[in-house]
């Protein structure tokens, strides 16, 4: 079975703090893709990153970084020096084959000024 | 427009009514997807089109749900005899090539069934 778990339902941090959003996935396939999406209050899902199962290199994009570890089936997302504009719900998603995304239940991040 | 658009943005229906939700994908995008997002949950896959062909409808929760994309561009999701459990945000996404990969999402239609 395919499954994505985001154990953190809500997180609050003070502006400029670093925050890590956890994502644990389950799949029997050796080929799969992992994604992170941001959903601001406007409701539109914004693509942040895609990784395939054969590429375990961590990635950094500005204040965002992602840590992919197959050994622990985790794909965690860190925001450095958080800003109020980072407040949103963040979803981790798994694509294993075909066209079906499996989304986690999301983590609601609130950055307090 | 440059992005995926959906209409209406909000819809209130009385139980038993039929509704139609529209999605305008990004021009030239081959793939189109519908998702249902219940309150406090992640989006759940409903159906997938490649051009006008509906290749996967395994996520449609019942035969009251029907989707079409007759000319390979605009898509309509129709829900017949709406029930309260149909209340959710319905998201549409499009992708420029076959398969999913980088999907661009619309703002969604929030359906409330009273």
> What's residue B32's pLDDT?
94
Name which of A100, A87, A15, A38 is nearest B33 in CA terms: A100
Q: Which of B31, B45, B107 sits opposite A43 (nearest CB)?
A: B107
* Beta strands B75-79 and B19-24, pairing class: antiparallel
Put simply, the answer to whether B44 touches A45 (Cβ < 8 Å) is no
A35 vs B101: CA distance, rounded Å: 9
Q: Give residue-wise pLDDT tens across range B62-100.
A: 999 999 999 999 999 999 999 999 999 999 999 887 665
pLDDT at A63 over 60: yes
B104 vs B92: CA distance, rounded Å: 8
A46 touches chain B (CB under 8 A): yes
Cβ-proximal residues to A44 (8 Å cutoff; 6+ apart), any chain: B3, B105, B106, B107, B108
Put simply, the answer to whether B93 touches A45 (Cβ < 8 Å) is yes
Put simply, the answer to whether B56 touches A101 (Cβ < 8 Å) is no
Q: Answer yes or no: are the C-beta atoms of A74 and A58 closer than 8 Å.
A: no
Name the closest residue on chain A to residue B40, using Cα atoms.
A105
Q: Give residue-wise pLDDT tens across range B43-61.
A: 999 999 999 999 999 999 9
Q: Which residues of chain A from 4 to 43 reach within 8 Å of chain B, CB to CB?
A: 4, 33, 37, 42-43
Q: Which of A44, A47, A106 sits opposite B42 (nearest CB)?
A: A106
Q: Sign of the C-alpha dihedral, residues A65, A69, A70, A72?
A: negative
Would you state the structure tokens that stand for residue A19, as one six-digit string?
Answer: 């925050």
Put simply, the answer to whether A46 touches B59 (Cβ < 8 Å) is no
> What's residue A97's pLDDT?
67
Q: How many CB pairs under 8 A join A and B?
A: 58
């Amino acid at each position: 079975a395919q499954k994505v778990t985001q154990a953190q339902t809500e997180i609050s941090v003070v502006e400029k703090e670093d925050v890590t959003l956890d994502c644990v996935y389950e799949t029997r396939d050796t080929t799969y893709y992992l994604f992170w999406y941001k959903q601001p209050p406007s409701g539109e899902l914004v693509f942040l990153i895609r990784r395939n199962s054969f590429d375990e290199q961590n990635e950094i994009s500005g204040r965002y970084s992602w840590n992919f570890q197959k050994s622990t089936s985790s794909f965690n997302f860190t925001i450095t020096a958080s800003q109020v504009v980072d407040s949103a719900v963040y979803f981790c998603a798994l694509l294993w084959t075909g066209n079906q995304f499996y989304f986690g239940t999301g983590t609601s991040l609130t950055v307090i000024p | 427009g440059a992005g995926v658009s959906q209409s209406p943005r909000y819809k209130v229906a009385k139980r038993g009514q039929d509704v139609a939700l529209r999605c305008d994908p990004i021009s030239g995008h081959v793939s189109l997807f519908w998702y249902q997002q219940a309150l406090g949950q992640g989006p759940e896959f409903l159906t997938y089109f490649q051009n006008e062909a509906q290749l996967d409808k395994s996520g449609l929760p019942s035969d009251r749900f029907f989707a079409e994309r007759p000319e390979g561009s605009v898509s309509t999701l129709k829900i017949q005899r709406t029930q309260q459990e149909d209340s959710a945000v319905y998201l549409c996404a499009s992708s420029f090539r076959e398969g999913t990969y980088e999907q661009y999402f619309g703002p969604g239609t929030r359906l409330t069934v009273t």
